């Protein structure tokens, strides 16, 4: 029987990475395309998933047997702080429409995408899959966090009431080609890459927001893509899996900025604006469950992945998502 895999949010950072991996992995690879598979990468222009009718039409058109659900209203710290209700409501609507339409269309399996941002603010570290609901999220992103947490609740309810095979993945901070490089509304890596590029081009200082001290785990989008493909084929449990590099691979924002300065080849003035918010200081997440289940995975070294991302940005500046030109 043919397999149709619908990737919602298929035009975003993670969706493009899955498309890249599926199209470039060698035959026989654990992460490559299998015979009889059709992959559909949907954008919001094809169906606005906040709308139940458009969601239904998308499912009727492709009849997906499997769904990797990535579509979401996504943004960095400042965008999240400004638009809490929009983040809450849009993501609730998108997730509810995708999960319920998957149920009514007898989709065999759905993997939805959460984020380590959804974990409680005050929690014992490291984060692991059992702690999603054990306290309120950080106030900076409570809209996004509560909407995403509900997906885990819904997955359990769909399984208990209807026996659905719905689960979720919890990536840490993602970066790679096709990211959103907007200067204000983006995540830290693409935002800093764009800023540093402009500083070099205009011969102006490069100023990073915050103290540079917070620590984060970053996952390269092509690595994350492989882990989603692994989950699709080999993981059949409702409980989420954290998809991340190890806790010992946290890097500081200063280390990120240093690596960007190096990759861009910037040689001017470089400093931190300590009047800007830092967000959570650190939130290490454990990837023990992932490594145990997958039985080993080679992550791309951070600097190598960052260098590839910067090169992609420089080569694609005119078509990249860079906000207002
Ligand atoms: N980026 C990170 O650091 C990170 C970390 C953890 C988890 N995640 C999660 O990973 C998933 C993918 O994120 P990403 O970074 O790839 O985001 P992204 O680059 O901003 O892409 C978002 C995708 O969602 C689609 N989308 C947004 N609103 C939609 C709507 N109303 N209807 C249909 N599609 C809609 C967009 O379609 P168009 O472009 O066509 O509008 C785009 O394809 C999200 O669920 C996010 O929460 C991201």
Confidence label for 317 from pLDDT (cuts 50, 70 and 90): very high
pLDDT of residue 325: 59
Q: What is the DSSP string of 53-95?
A: HHHHHHHHHH--SEEEE-------HHHHHH-HHHHHHHHHHHH
Confidence label for 282 from pLDDT (cuts 50, 70 and 90): confident
Q: What is the DSSP string of 228-242?
A: HHHHHHH---SS-EE
Closest C-alpha to ligand 1, atom 36:
9
Averaged pLDDT for residues 157-165? 98
Catalytic-residue membership of 144: yes
Span from the CA of 44 to the centroid of ligand 1 (angstroms): 10
pTM: 0.97
Averaged pLDDT for residues 106-124? 96
What are the chain's domains?
3-176+217-246+283-301 (3.40.50.720)
- Of ligand 1's listed atoms, the one at least distance from the Cα of 90 is 31
Closest C-alpha to ligand 1, atom 34:
44
Span from the CA of 270 to the centroid of ligand 1 (angstroms): 31
Span from the CA of 180 to the centroid of ligand 1 (angstroms): 10
Mean pLDDT of all residues belonging to the chain: 95
pLDDT of residue 185: 78
Has residue 279 got a pLDDT over 80? Answer: no
pLDDT of residue 43: 98
Which residues pair with residue 272 across a beta bridge?
A: 208
Q: Name the one residue in this structure whose structure tokens are 């654990």.
A: 30
Span from the CA of 101 to the centroid of ligand 1 (angstroms): 19
pLDDT of residue 323: 84
Query: What gap in Å lies between CA 30 and CA 234, rounded to an integer?
Result: 10
Task: Say if residues 229 and 7 touch (Cβ distance below 8 Å).
Answer: no
pLDDT tens readout for residues 202-222: 999 999 999 999 999 999 999
Among residues 59, 144, 158, 220, which one is catalytic?
144
pLDDT tens readout for residues 173-190: 999 999 999 987 788 999
Task: Say if residues 182 and 254 touch (Cβ distance below 8 Å).
Answer: no
Has residue 324 got a pLDDT over 80? Answer: no
- Of ligand 1's listed atoms, the one at least distance from the Cα of 9 is 43
- Of ligand 1's listed atoms, the one at least distance from the Cα of 43 is 40
pLDDT of residue 75: 83
For 14, what's the count of Cα atoms within 13 Å in the CB-facing half-sphere?
27
- Of ligand 1's listed atoms, the one at least distance from the Cα of 75 is 20
Has residue 137 got a pLDDT over 90? Answer: yes
pLDDT of residue 280: 75
Which residues pair with residue 204 across a beta bridge?
A: none
Has residue 1 got a pLDDT over 70? Answer: no
Q: Which among 6, 10, 14, 86 is the best mutation to test ligand 1's pocket, defined by most ligand atoms within 8 Å of the CB?
A: 14
pLDDT tens readout for residues 45-102: 999 999 999 999 999 999 999 999 999 999 877 788 889 999 999 999 999 999 999 9
């Amino acid at each position: 029987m043919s397999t149709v895999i619908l990737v919602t949010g298929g035009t975003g950072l993670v969706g493009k990475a899955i498309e890249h991996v599926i199209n470039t992995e060698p035959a026989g690879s654990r992460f490559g395309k299998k015979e009889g598979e059709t992959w559909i990468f949907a954008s919001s222009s094809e169906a606005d998933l906040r709308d139940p009718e458009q969601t239904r039409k998308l499912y009727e058109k492709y009849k997906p047997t499997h769904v990797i659900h990535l579509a979401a209203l996504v943004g960095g710290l400042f965008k999240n702080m400004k638009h809490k209700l929009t983040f809450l409501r849009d993501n609730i609507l998108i997730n509810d429409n995708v999960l319920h339409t998957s149920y009514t269309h007898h989709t065999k399996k759905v993997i939805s995408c959460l984020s380590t941002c959804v974990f409680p603010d005050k929690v014992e570290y490291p984060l692991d899959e059992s702690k999603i609901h054990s306290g309120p999220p950080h106030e900076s992103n409570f809209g996004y966090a509560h909407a995403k947490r509900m997906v885990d609740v819904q997955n359990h309810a769909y399984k208990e009431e209807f026996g659905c095979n719905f689960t979720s993945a919890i990536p840490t901070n993602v970066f790679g080609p096709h990211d959103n490089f907007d200067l204000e509304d983006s995540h830290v890596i693409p935002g800093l890459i764009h800023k540093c590029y402009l500083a070099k081009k205009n011969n102006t200082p490069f100023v990073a927001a915050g103290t540079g001290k917070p620590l984060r785990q970053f996952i390269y989008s092509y690595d994350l893509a492989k882990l989603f493909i692994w989950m699709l084929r080999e993981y059949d449990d409702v409980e989420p899996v954290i998809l991340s590099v190890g806790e010992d691979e946290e890097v500081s924002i200063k280390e990120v900025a240093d690596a960007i300065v190096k990759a861009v080849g910037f040689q001017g003035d470089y400093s931190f604006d300590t009047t800007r918010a830092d967000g959570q200081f650190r939130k290490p997440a454990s990837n023990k469950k992932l490594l145990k289940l997958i039985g080993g995975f080679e992550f791309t070294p951070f600097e190598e992945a960052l260098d590839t991302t910067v090169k992609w940005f420089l080569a694609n500046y005119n078509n990249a998502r860079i906000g207002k030109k």
